[in-house]
Every structure is written in C-alpha cells, then in structure tokens.
Structure 1
Amino acid sequence: MPRRSRVLSGTLIATALLLTSVGVGTVAANADTGTAAAPAVHAAHTAHAMAVSTAASPEDPDGDGYIPANPPVTGVTPSTKEPPHRYFHEFQANCSVSHTAPDDPVVHPGQPGKSHDHTFMGNTTTDAGSTTASLDAGDTTCLAPGDRSAYWMPTMYDGDRPVLPVGPQVIYYKAGVTDYTSVRPFPKGLRYVVGSPLQSAQQFRAHRGFVEGWECGDSFFNVEFPADCPDRQDVQVNIRFQAPSCWDGRNLDTPDHQSHMAYPVVNPGTNNNICPAGHPVALPMIEFKMAFPVNGDLSRVRLAGGASYSFHYDFFNAWDERTLKALVDHCIVGGLQCNARGHDETHPEAGAALNEHYELP
C-alpha cells in the first residue's frame, strides 16, 4: 500500500500532510492526467491534519507507516470506458455493532486505550492489536460470514449515555467510477480512514465523502446535529458518508492512512468519473449509512471525537477473498442493486451470489 523511504523527518511529514490538505486525488489528477482540478469547495477534503502513525506493529515492524501490498497491482491505467448505463451497481454489507473500546488498530496499532472511544461493527475481535491474520481468525456480526472486515466510527453520546446503532447497519459497496465493470475487490489487509476527528465544520461539509450530512425527519444536509429532530419512536438520527475508491496499487496503508486512496476525478473529455493516474485501481466505494436511536432534544448529543462534524470512520478489509469477488463481480460489475446475499429483487432472473445462509453456494 515499492516501500518509500523508511525515515520520514518532521519536515517531510509536514510536507506530506500539506499536500494531503489540497486533495490527494486532485493533485494526482492534475499532475498525471491533465484533468481539471476538482471544484474549490472540495479542495480541502483531506485537510484534516490526520495524525501520522509511526508505531511499529506486526504488519509494519519498522514502524515507518507503510504496509506494502504483496503483490502490488501494476500495469493498470484508469479506465475511460463507458459501459451500458446501469442506475445501480452495488451490494450491501449489513453489520451490527459488536462492542465499543478506546482502540484504533489503524491510527494507534498496538496501543490499547490511546484512542477516543469507537463503536465497532463487523469483526467481533477488533482491538488495538488487530492484524489481517487476527481478523481472518475472528467472528463477525455481518450477515455474510465471509465478511470478517472491521468497521468503526466514533461513539455517539447523549450526555454520558452511549448511543449505539441497533441491528444490522447499511454499509454500501458501490461503483465510484463510471466504468463499473473496472471495479475489482479490495486487497486483503487494505485499511484506511475516511475524514478526521480534527476536521472543521467547513471541511466536513466540503468533504468529497459528504452525502446528506446529519439528517433527522425532514431535516437534511446538516453539519451540526439537527435542532428540529422529531421526538417520535420511529425517528432516528442518520448519516451517510462515502469513502475514496481509487487505490495506488502499492500500499495497504500509509502514514496518514489516507494518501494511498483517492476519490475519482472528472475526465474533461467525457465528463465521466475516472480514477486519477496516481491511484489507477478502481475498488468498491464504501458508503456508511448509520442510524442512531436518538431524537428530540439533541443539545447533549456529541461524538467521542468531538463535535458533530468530527465524524469519521475506519475500514480494515478482512473479507474472504472468494466471497468478496463473487459479490463484486455479480453486483457491481454486473450492474445490479443487491442485498447482502447478492440478490437484486428487481432482477430475480440474475440469481444471487450467495445462498440463503449468505455463503458461497
């Protein structure tokens, strides 16, 4: 996710973060493909002063923050093809909350208790010491047993009471590029952070991953928690937030946990969304759609990482490779709108990728 210099001076780290602050995807697009820069409102989508992790871990024994893919993906150029139009090309990973803990195996690997509190979904074993191997050996709260990935976000509080999503939450896997047929499965062990607890309200709103912000009832696109949230049993606070979907093909992680990934850019010749040349590998675009069981007066609601606009999340891929490939090929590449079985109710003739137990047939 070849490994760069093993020594990053403070100056180099600051420079790397400064480059990140103007948008990794935009820089790569302009320098490598000549495509137009993203709109200015999105230019700061990674300007979050993300902490650089340099702690040693089982997967990064020298502690330089780079975890190389083995093997790397080479010889890929961003696809400019335009396949037949499909309104949907996605499937869901439905995963429930398993536990909370002040751990973060991506930003603070091997350092239990160092993070603000996180709410974990998917793999039930996720903690500060989690590795690809430990997640592979773990259990999962996801409907598909093959999804042993770890998903986490800052814990929400109403005063001092944790507010935990109830039941399977919706984690979409979509095509982020126009050529949905070019999307390939995540490499095992890929991990990244979307957003930052240190982002400002403006950075949160301008983030490329911002979809509808905080919503409740008829109130949408909020940076702050909605003030007019109906006090009804059937109402919850929701958020949708999208991850970058273009990979550099070399690193499973980088010191800032973001620069190995990039958002698609617009090809000025076709107006299609393509991956930038520096991140040419199209992967599924994850979209969190979280529902928190709180409503009415939200004046005491906060996130463990800070204000409402400090929302962010982490992903650590530990899917069974055959299961993930089956879902990506059938649903994303196949242009379907699938549930967690890989079944599209509007196209029953296409069948399903998984059986009634959410496993490969």
Structure 2
Amino acid sequence: MRRSSKTLSALLVCTALAATTFGIGSITSAADPGSDSKSVSSASTHTGHTNKVSLLPSGDDADGDGYIPANPPVTALPPAAQAPPSRYFHEFQANCSVTHTAPDDPIIYPGQPGRSHDHTFMGNTTTNANSTTASLYGGNTTCKAPGDSSAYWMPSLFKGDKKVLPIGPQTIYYKAGVTDYTTVRPFPKGLRYVVGSPTQSPQEFRDHPGWVEGWECGESFGNVGFPQNCPAGSQLNLRMQAPSCWNGQHLDTPDHQSHMAYPDVKPGTNDNVCPASHPVALPMVEFKMAFPADGDMSQVRLASGGGHTFHYDFFNAWDERTLKALVDHCVVGGLQCDARGYDQTHPGAGAALNADYRLP
C-alpha cells in the first residue's frame, strides 16, 4: 500500500476540475454562471497558472462558499494503549453496480446539470447534478448492502464513440489506511471528496499517493495510459486509493480535497499515522474497476482524456448504523470481509450483516 507525506491539497489542486473544458469527450454548459457566482483561486501544480472555480449556493452549501462544516466537528481518537494485534487485513467490500451515465457532477458542479464531462455512476440510483445528502440518504442503491446509499462515480470510458461500461458489480474496498486500525471510525454523514484530477499529468498520475497498480490487462501491468492491446475476452483493470485522514472540520472544501489527506509514516517507525492537520482516521476507499477489453485498445479514452486523467468521486450516504457495524466488525476487528462483513478465513467471528445484507 503506497503512502506519501503529501496531502492531496499539496499534490493535486483540484480546482482545475471545474475548468470549462475537460479535454476529449467533455461536455460543457452553454450557460454562464454569471457575475453573481463566487470564485476561489488556486494554483495548478503542473500548469503554473491559476484556475477559478465557479461556486454557487446549492443543496448542502447554502452560502456557496465551498465549505460544508461538520456538525459537530470531530477530533482524533486516542491511540490504543498498546499496539493492536498484527493483522494483514482490516477491510470490507462494497459491491456496487453501474446505475446510469450522465454529464453531471454534484460535487464539482452542484445544481448545474450537463455541465461536466460524462460520468459513470454506481450505488445510489438517483445521483444527479442536484444530489444532496438529504436526497441520497436512504435512497435506492445497486450496492449489495441496502444500507449503502452512497454515490460513487468516475469519468466514462469510451472505445471510439462507443461508451464501455464496467463488468457487473464493481469492488470498492473500505480499508484501514493507518497502522493502528483500531482507531478507524465511520465516515461522517454527507462527507464527499474527489480523488485525483482530470488535469493531472502522466507523471502526476504515477506519483499520486493513491496509485496502486495502474492500468492493466493480460500480462501488461503498471501502465499510466491504456495498454495498446489486450487479450480477447480479458478485463481492463485499475485500482486507486482515496485519502483516509480527515480534518474533522469540513464535509467538503472548495477544492473538494484539502479536508482529506493520506497517512504519513511516523518518524523512526514503519507506522502509518494521520498527520496532525488531519487527525481523524476514516476508512480508506479503494476503487477496483473492471472493464471488458478485447484486442486493439488504441481508440480507448476516458471522457476526461487519456488514461492518466482517471479520477473518481465519493459522496457518503451510508446508513450510520450499518456502516458502523461493518467498520467495527471488519476494519477495527482486523478481518478480511465481503459485503456482508463475513471473513471466510475466520468463520467463528460471524458476519456484521444477515443474508440479505441488512443489520440482524
């Protein structure tokens, strides 16, 4: 598991996400947000210029300043009195199928339908540009656990002009990103963030702290861009991890990233810990995407551009009791769980959810 001392805000400033053009396959709005919109300036680390993000009052952000405060704010849990037992796994899965595609992004362009490049949505079936915590919470979902009404999305994949959807339910891991896995707590209701950026360079994509393996198919691994050829009937896969340390103050910030950070390595140890600026350990989300791949891949692209522009969004709308049960049983409990919260290698530990993926 790759770690970095850089926070997302220092590495990839995500205000460029809201630029009016996103490259190949982008869809932009003909409407001008107007002079009444607020803006936030932030430097792009790889272009050296400043991009302004249009911010408008909407949904969860009534004043349109881009900051959504946590209520109440949260401080870090104290470390365990002694090191927890060594466990290789401390995770569970959320298996969620694709619901729809649309040029919407309720995090970057809330209340502005059609403004973004095309996205492929998973989980909550109602996700659109107007989605809020209230509209998502308790809604219908394609995730195996009915308690997971969260919204997950990423730029749509194309082969030429044909949209290619992922194969079946996708695996979204919830892991411990810190060594003391007993300090991981559930996501606060309404937390949202963006991982990566459509404007990142190929080198920034490779160096991203969430990088796991890059694009791969057949015997081709570690690719920044798409492999040029994949065996017939194979899968194009990608894994990318999200930051798991929270500042405890905001459910969102104007760049949609700086309220989150990746763990640091504690000096003089091999322990991964949350930095003082982001002291609250949350689950580390990891997307593991699987697309059908067959033969020539030279025409494959993302709606945001080349393979190095991959990024994804997460908007938490879990039922609180269900998420806590899975986090406590699987992550804090040091187990390798499926979507029911069941670890086949430790059957005696039982499952967090029943056969219908609901709380017992």
Place the TM-score, normalised by the shorter chain, in its bin.
0.7 to 0.9
Q: Which runs of 5+ in 1 are unaligned?
A: 1-36
The answer to whether the 8 Å contact 1:343/1:352 transfers is: yes
What pairs with 1:326-345 in structure 2 (closer than 5 Å)? Answer: 326-345=325-344
| C-alpha distance 47-191 of structure 1, shift in aligned 2 (>3 A) | closer
**Paired AA for residue 176 in structure 1:** G
Deviation at 1:49, TM superposition (A): 3.8
Number of matched pairs: 322
For 1:53 and 1:348, the matched residues in 2 are separated by 51
Corresponding residue number in structure 1 for 2:70: 69
Corresponding residue number in structure 2 for 1:305: 304
Deviation at 1:116, TM superposition (A): 0.2
The answer to whether the 8 Å contact 2:158/2:164 transfers is: yes
Corresponding residue number in structure 1 for 2:180: 179
For 1:229 and 1:300, the matched residues in 2 are separated by 12
For 1:206 and 1:73, the matched residues in 2 are separated by 30
Corresponding residue number in structure 2 for 1:290: 289
What's the CA shift string for 1:191-224, capped at 9, x where partnerless? 0000011111000000000000000011111001
The answer to whether the 8 Å contact 1:77/1:277 transfers is: no
For 2:14 and 2:248, the matched residues in 1 are separated by 23
Corresponding residue number in structure 2 for 1:353: 352
The answer to whether the 8 Å contact 1:80/1:179 transfers is: no
| C-alpha distance 80-305 of structure 1, shift in aligned 2 (>3 A) | farther
Corresponding residue number in structure 1 for 2:243: 244
For 2:312 and 2:81, the matched residues in 1 are separated by 30
**Paired AA for residue 136 in structure 1:** Y
Corresponding residue number in structure 1 for 2:268: 269
**Paired AA for residue 11 in structure 2:** A
For 2:66 and 2:15, the matched residues in 1 are separated by 18
What pairs with 1:36-47 in structure 2 (closer than 5 Å)? Answer: 38=5, 44=11
Corresponding residue number in structure 2 for 1:155: 156
The answer to whether the 8 Å contact 2:101/2:118 transfers is: yes
The answer to whether the 8 Å contact 2:14/2:257 transfers is: no
TM-score normalized by structure 2?
0.86
Deviation at 1:138, TM superposition (A): 1.8
Bigger mean CA offset, 75-84 vs 169-178? 75-84
Corresponding residue number in structure 2 for 1:217: 218
TM-score normalized by structure 1?
0.86
**Paired AA for residue 306 in structure 2:** A
For 2:243 and 2:303, the matched residues in 1 are separated by 23
Deviation at 1:46, TM superposition (A): 5.1
| C-alpha distance 300-354 of structure 1, shift in aligned 2 (>3 A) | same
Q: Equivalent residue of 1:133, what SS?
A: helix
1:259 counterpart = 2:258: yes
| C-alpha distance 317-200 of structure 1, shift in aligned 2 (>3 A) | same
For 1:253 and 1:44, the matched residues in 2 are separated by 18
The answer to whether the 8 Å contact 1:245/1:264 transfers is: yes
For 2:138 and 2:272, the matched residues in 1 are separated by 37
What's the CA shift string for 1:211-254, capped at 9, x where partnerless? 000000111110010124112xx411000000000000000000
| C-alpha distance 53-77 of structure 1, shift in aligned 2 (>3 A) | farther
Deviation at 1:83, TM superposition (A): 1.3
Deviation at 1:304, TM superposition (A): 0.3
What's the CA shift string for 1:294-340, capped at 9, x where partnerless? 22110000000111110000000000000000000000000000000
| C-alpha distance 183-53 of structure 1, shift in aligned 2 (>3 A) | farther
Deviation at 1:58, TM superposition (A): 1.9
For 2:229 and 2:10, the matched residues in 1 are separated by 31
The answer to whether the 8 Å contact 1:124/1:141 transfers is: yes
What pairs with 1:192-207 in structure 2 (closer than 5 Å)? Answer: 192-207=193-208
Deviation at 1:53, TM superposition (A): 5.1
Higher strand share: 2
| C-alpha distance 289-135 of structure 1, shift in aligned 2 (>3 A) | same
The answer to whether the 8 Å contact 1:225/1:298 transfers is: yes
What's the CA shift string for 1:82-136, capped at 9, x where partnerless? 3111000000000000000000000000000000000000000000000000001
Q: Which runs of 5+ in 2 are unaligned?
A: 19-52
Q: Equivalent residue of 2:122, what SS?
A: strand
**Paired AA for residue 246 in structure 2:** W
For 1:215 and 1:45, the matched residues in 2 are separated by 24
1:278 counterpart = 2:273: no
For 1:254 and 1:88, the matched residues in 2 are separated by 31
The answer to whether the 8 Å contact 2:95/2:339 transfers is: yes
For 1:331 and 1:177, the matched residues in 2 are separated by 14
What pairs with 1:82-97 in structure 2 (closer than 5 Å)? Answer: 82-97=83-98
The answer to whether the 8 Å contact 2:79/2:180 transfers is: no
Q: Equivalent residue of 1:130, what SS?
A: coil
